[in-house]
Amino acid sequence: MTERSPLAPAAFPQLPSIAGVTPHVARARYKDWDRCDLTYVELDEGTVVAGVTTQSKCPSPEVEWCRDAIPLGSARALVVNAGNANAFTGHRGRAAVEAMAAKVANHLGCKPSDIFLSSTGVIGVPLPVEKAEAGLEAAFAAPACSWEDAALTIGTTDTYPKGAHVSALIGGQRVELVGIIKGSGMIAPDMATMLGYIFTDAAIDASLLQDMLSTANRQSFSCITVDSDTSTSDTVLAFATGRAGNPPLTSMDDPGADAFHAAVTDLCRQLSHLVVRDGEGASKFIEITVEGAENDASAHRIALSIANSPLVKTAIAGEDANWGRIVMAVGKAGEPADRDKLSISFGATQVATGGLAVEDYDEAPVAAHLKGQDIQVGVDLGLGNGRATVWTCDLTHGYISINADYRS
pLDDT at 259 over 90: yes
Prediction pTM value: 0.92
What is the CATH number for 395?
A: 3.10.20.340
Q: Are residues 295 and 262 in the same domain?
A: no
* Same domain, residue pair 260 and 128: yes
Binding-site residues: 156, 182, 193, 280, 403, 408
Q: Are residues 290 and 247 in the same domain?
A: no
Instruction: Name residues whose C-beta falls within 8 Å of residue 322's C-beta, 6 or more positions apart in sequence.
Output: 311, 315
Q: Are 277 and 160 in contact (CB under 8 A)?
A: no
- Res. 14: pLDDT tops 50: yes
Q: Where residue 193 falls among pLDDT bands split at 50, 70, 90?
A: very low
- 174 alpha-carbon distance from chain centroid: 26
Dist. CA 217–CA 213, nearest whole Å: 6
Q: Flag whether pLDDT at 110 surpasses 80.
A: yes
> 138 and 227 share a domain?
yes
Distance in angstroms (rounded) separating the CA atoms of residues 330 and 290:
10
Phi, psi (deg, nearest 5) at residue 88: 60, 50
Can you tell me the mean pLDDT for 330-353?
95
Give the domain-ending residue among 234, 255, 277.
277
Beta strands in 210-299 (DSSP E): 235-240, 285-293
Q: Out of 229, 249, 277, pick the residue that ends a domain.
A: 277
For 332, what's the count of Cα atoms within 13 Å in the CB-facing half-sphere? 14
pLDDT at 373 over 60: yes
User: What is the rounded distance in angstroms from the CA atom of residue 273 to the CA atom of residue 353?
Assistant: 30
pLDDT in tens, 87-104: 888 899 999 999 999 999
User: Taking a C-beta distance cutoff of 8 angstroms, is the pair 285, 363 a contact?
Assistant: no
Mean pLDDT of 104-129: 95
Residue 187 has pLDDT above 60, yes or no: no
Q: Are residues 170 and 310 in the same domain?
A: no
| 383 part of a folded domain | yes
Q: Tell me what pLDDT residue 192 has.
A: 43
CA 152 – CA 162 distance, rounded (Å): 8
> Helix, strand, or coil here: 392?
strand
Task: Indicate whether 42 belongs to any domain.
Answer: yes
pLDDT digits (tens, 9 = 90+) for 281-324: 789 999 999 999 999 999 999 999 999 999 999 999 999 988 99
Q: In this structure, which amino acid lies at residue 190? A: D
**At 47, is the secondary structure helix, strand, or coil?**
coil
pLDDT band at 270 (very low <50, low <70, confident <90, very high): very high
pLDDT computed for residue 178 by the predictor: 98
The pLDDT score that the predictor gives to residue 220 is 94
Cα–Cα distance measured from residue 40 to residue 22, given in angstroms and rounded to the nearest whole number: 8
Residues in the chain: 408
Determine, yes or no, domain membership for 65: yes
Q: Give the residue-averaged pLDDT of 11-19.
A: 98
3-class DSSP assignment, residue 341: helix
Same-domain pairing of 266 and 234:
yes
Same domain, 326 and 387: yes
- Domain assignment present for 158: yes
Summarize the confidence of residues 41-68 as an average pLDDT.
92
The tally of domains found in the chain comes to 2
C-alpha to C-alpha distance for 216 and 223, rounded to whole angstroms:
11
pLDDT score, position 228 = 61
Q: Tell whether 4 is covered by a domain.
A: no
**In terms of domains, do 209 and 353 share one?**
no
Domain extent, residue 58, equals 21-277
Distance in angstroms (rounded) separating the CA atoms of residues 8 and 159: 8
**Euclidean distance between CA atoms 22 and 144, whole angstroms:** 6
Q: What local confidence, expressed as pLDDT, does residue 206 receive?
A: 98
Rg (CA), the chain: 22
pLDDT band at 408 (very low <50, low <70, confident <90, very high): very low
Question: Beta-carbon neighbour count of residue 365 at 10 Å?
Answer: 13
Neighbours of 372 (CB within 10 A): 12
Q: List, in order, residues 6 or more apart from 32 with CB less than 8 Å away.
A: none
Which whole number is the average pLDDT over 44-71? 92
Which pLDDT score is estimated for 401? 67
For residues 334 and 267, membership in a common domain is answered with no
The pLDDT value recorded for residue 273 is 95
- Range ranked top by mean pLDDT from 178-187, 216-225, 254-263: 254-263
Domain stops at, among 249, 277, 305: 277
Instruction: Answer yes or no: do 220 and 296 share one domain.
Output: no
Q: Which residues contact 62 (CB under 8 A, 6 or more apart)?
A: 86, 97, 117, 118, 119, 233, 235
CATH number at residue 124: 3.60.70.12
**pLDDT mean over 240-262:** 97
Instruction: Specify binding-site residues for substrate.
Output: 156, 182, 193, 280, 403, 408
Please check the confidence at residue 400 and state whether its pLDDT lies above 60.
Answer: yes
* CA proximity to 193, closest of 177, 205, 182, 209: 182
Catalytic residues: 193
Instruction: Look at residue 161 and tell me if it is in a domain.
Output: yes
* Residue 13 belongs to some domain of the structure: no
> Is 7 part of any domain?
no
Higher per-residue confidence, 234 vs 406 = 234
**In this structure, are 258 and 310 located in the same domain?**
no
Listing DSSP states for 56-108 in one string gives -SS--HHHHHHHHHGGG-B-SEEEEEEEE---S-HHHHHHHHHHHHHHHHHHH
Q: In what order do the strands lie in the sheet with 115-122?
A: 21-26, 38-43, 77-84, 115-122
What local confidence, expressed as pLDDT, does residue 361 receive?
Answer: 85
